[in-house]
Structure 1
Amino acid sequence: MVSIIIPTFNEKINVIKIVDRIKTAIDNIYDYEIIFVDDSSDNTIEYLEKLKNMYKNIKYSHRTGERGLATAVVSGIDMSRGDIIVVMDSDLQHPPELLPEMIKNIEEYDIVIPSRHLTGGDEDGLNIFRKIISHTASAIGKLFLKKLRNISDPTGGFFAFKKKILDGIVLSPVGWKILMEILVRGKYSKVKEIPYKFEKRDYGNSKMSFIEQINYLKHIFRLVKDSVDDRRIFVFAIVGCLGVIVNMIFYNIFVFCGFNISISGTFSAVIAMIGNFILNRNITWKDKKTEKFFAEAFKFLTISSCGIIINIIILSSLHYKLKVNYNVANLIGICGAVLWNYNLNRLWTWKNNLRSF
């Protein structure tokens, strides 16, 4: 069975239209139910009650004191009987005529996402302001969350998935972007995107607001915090910053004691390197470390030694040849070394266990 979940908020005219279009699209093809989760403050509930009495495969839940598309979808999932879940908005900007193609593809894939950004799709239903917000949100999500990076439209509200990908998963979304929550937390292997045209709204108003944009950022933060892989790169960056502080402190101590620039840079980098290995092994990659302490140390220190060389080359070139301030030159050299160290350790020191970013 297919469970079609439709959150509603003051969409009394649209609920009738969307039911008619869904019936036209998949009646006599699939066994399905339509679940409305309603947060309306108008009389939409009266229309939903009429639809429920007219059709046996329609049900609804009216929530009071709670709003939000994402939590409405979670509530709809809890009410669903189907092994395939479809999520769509009630404003008819998501065309129900695409349902047969989505459901057909879900037989082979775990998640099917209609995308506005593939060839053949478009987002003409959005004004320029909404387009900017949409593209910015997508870019931010992809920057911070690995599982979104290969998805062209990860913040859309129109998608289908096999219900089993959420077995044992607790969803805790904030705001509206439930697809992002499922992509990050779900247990799946195959995703299919298909193009679609985001239609213009005929009735009702957009629910986008400044508060929802703040909620989106909160949602990103929560997902990063709960994802070991996405959190790891930020922990590495923090450890790297601590290493930079240690490096700069000892660098200035050595310079003050009369050592030349290159020797000061070398000694301070070695001290920072040892400290970074201990912190990265026991914090950044705590869940990935093995009992082979010395093997990991050898790899880390070998890579970091090359990083020191990179640091010194950059520092010396900038300071002696380009006359850049010695602190600025060292800081730039450190940045180059950090990029080298992170990527080589990712690919070698913890290669067998670490998933790439």
Structure 2
Amino acid sequence: MISIVIPTFNEKENLEELLRRIDSTLRGLNYEVIIVDDNSPDGTAEEALKLSDRYPVRVMLRAERLGLSSAVLDGIKMARGDIICVMDADLQHPPELLKELYERILENEIVIASRYVKGGSVEGWSLLRRLISRSSILLARLLIPKVRGIRDTSSGYFMLRRECINPEVNPRGFKILLEILAKTECTRIYEVPYSFGLRRHGESKLGLGTIMNYALQLLGLSSPFIRFSIIGALGTLVNLLSLYVMRYFLGLEHELASIIAIEISLLNNFILNDIWTFRKRRRGSIISSLLNYHLANLLGIMTQFSISMSLYRFFGMESILSQFIGIIVGFIVNYSLSKRIVWW
């Protein structure tokens, strides 16, 4: 069975045409449509229930707007089919493509309706909207190694086998496909070109909040090295700010201020890496992990301190600059040892 999951919010005017076109395309195949509605004030859920007399439709009504990705995952839980399709209700995803998606899924594990492979296109978008879309996909391909061979990582129209959905998929944001691709073990992925059409009724859901959620999603799915680097950059600021306060406000000697600043930044980095970069990978208690983190960073600490002290004492370099150079040299050593000893 094919289960078509359609998240909705204020899509009442589109439903009748959408379901008619789906039925016309998939006639003769065993399919169902799961409408997941976030309590639309325009009566979308009620309209879907009426149309269930004519089409194989089931409706899940949620109490409030909980996000597109969580709606998709809730719909998948309700679905009876082993083949899942996700699409929007706004008619920008042409239902006529469903037949080709189904034919392709028989030989693949994930099939994506793609705007950016040869033959695909987007209608009626402004230059700014096109730039946002292209940039978001470029960032995904740069930050997430598993999706680098995929042209349209943010497509909302796709079909996949149920077993391709990792139980650890996070129901956040609007780009559930990106989450699935980043965490799946499935490798047979195919992109089908299509033309992303104009919205007939209703309003676009894209806004600043959507863009911010996508940015957070990208960072969460990025490789541990990227996340480690971001936290390392933050730790650098903590380190240098602590050094500045102790040197120029408290009047401490460079060596003592350097050691204290290094320890403050180590604690900062350990906490953030533990809850984000290597989340769920810690073995043992937090105290033992903290001790292991200091042990793993011992060579980096010694490198950083030695370089900082040498540049300050023997070359007359200013405190902040000498500390910064020490931080850069010790960074790669810290990452390599932390990954092998603390969060192995």
Instruction: Verify same fold: TM over 0.5.
Output: yes
Identify the residue that residue 260 of structure 1 maps to in structure 2. none
Amino acid at match of 2:212: L
| Alpha-carbon shift at residue 82 of structure 1 (Å) | 1.1
Q: Does 1:343 align with 2:338?
A: no
Structure 2: distance between partners of 1:102 and 1:157: 13
Identify the residue that residue 116 of structure 1 maps to in structure 2. 115
Structure 2: distance between partners of 1:353 and 1:149: 29
| Alpha-carbon shift at residue 242 of structure 1 (Å) | 2.8
After superposition, where does 1:143-154 map in structure 2 within 5 Å?
Answer: 151-154=150-153
Structure 2 residue matching 1:34: 3-state secondary structure: strand
| Offset from partner CA, 1:76-109 (integer Å, 9 cap, x none) | 2232111221111122222334334434554565
Moved more, 100-109 or 125-134: 100-109
Structure 2: distance between partners of 1:275 and 1:147: 35
Q: Do 1:5 and 1:36's aligned partners in 2 also have CA atoms closer than 8 Å?
A: yes
Moved more, 106-115 or 283-292: 283-292
Identify the residue that residue 188 of structure 1 maps to in structure 2. 185
After superposition, where does 1:118-267 map in structure 2 within 5 Å?
Answer: 118-135=117-134, 137-138=136-137, 151-166=150-165, 168-169=167-168, 171-174=170-173, 176-183=174-181, 186-190=183-187, 192-201=189-198, 203-208=200-205, 210=207, 213-218=208-213, 220-221=215-216, 229=224, 232-249=228-245, 264=254
Q: Do 1:77 and 1:85's aligned partners in 2 also have CA atoms closer than 8 Å?
A: yes
CA RMSD between the two structures: 4.8
Which blocks of at least 5 consecutive residues in structure 2 are unaligned? none
| Offset from partner CA, 1:288-323 (integer Å, 9 cap, x none) | 57989999767634445555677689989x987xxx
Q: Residue 241 and residue 105 in structure 1: after superposition, are their counterparts in 2 closer, same or farther (change >3 A)?
A: farther
Structure 2: distance between partners of 1:61 and 1:277: 48
| Alpha-carbon shift at residue 158 of structure 1 (Å) | 1.3
| Alpha-carbon shift at residue 48 of structure 1 (Å) | 3.5
| Superposition TM-score, scaled by structure 2 size | 0.69
Q: Residue 14 and residue 303 in structure 1: after superposition, are their counterparts in 2 closer, same or farther (change >3 A)?
A: same
Q: Residue 274 and residue 40 in structure 1: after superposition, are their counterparts in 2 closer, same or farther (change >3 A)?
A: closer
Structure 2 residue matching 1:153: 3-state secondary structure: coil
Identify the residue that residue 34 of structure 1 maps to in structure 2. 33
Q: Residue 149 and residue 84 in structure 1: after superposition, are their counterparts in 2 closer, same or farther (change >3 A)?
A: same
Moved more, 153-162 or 268-277: 268-277
Q: Does 1:6 align with 2:6?
A: yes
Identity of aligned residues (%): 26
| Alpha-carbon shift at residue 3 of structure 1 (Å) | 0.7
| Alpha-carbon shift at residue 5 of structure 1 (Å) | 1.1
| Alpha-carbon shift at residue 71 of structure 1 (Å) | 4.0
Amino acid at match of 2:33: I
Structure 1: distance between partners of 2:342 and 2:262: 22
Number of equivalenced pairs: 334
Identify the residue that residue 297 of structure 2 maps to in structure 1. 300
Structure 2: distance between partners of 1:300 and 1:244: 18
Q: Do 1:109 and 1:192's aligned partners in 2 also have CA atoms closer than 8 Å?
A: yes
Structure 2: distance between partners of 1:217 and 1:233: 20
Structure 2 residue matching 1:179: 3-state secondary structure: helix
Which blocks of at least 5 consecutive residues in structure 1 are unaligned? 258-263, 321-325
| Offset from partner CA, 1:32-65 (integer Å, 9 cap, x none) | 212223455446567634542223x333345565
Structure 2 residue matching 1:77: 3-state secondary structure: helix
Identify the residue that residue 261 of structure 1 maps to in structure 2. none
Structure 2: distance between partners of 1:140 and 1:314: 38
Q: Residue 61 and residue 274 in structure 1: after superposition, are their counterparts in 2 closer, same or farther (change >3 A)?
A: closer
Structure 1: distance between partners of 2:177 and 2:88: 12
Q: Residue 270 and residue 102 in structure 1: after superposition, are their counterparts in 2 closer, same or farther (change >3 A)?
A: farther
| Superposition TM-score, scaled by structure 1 size | 0.67
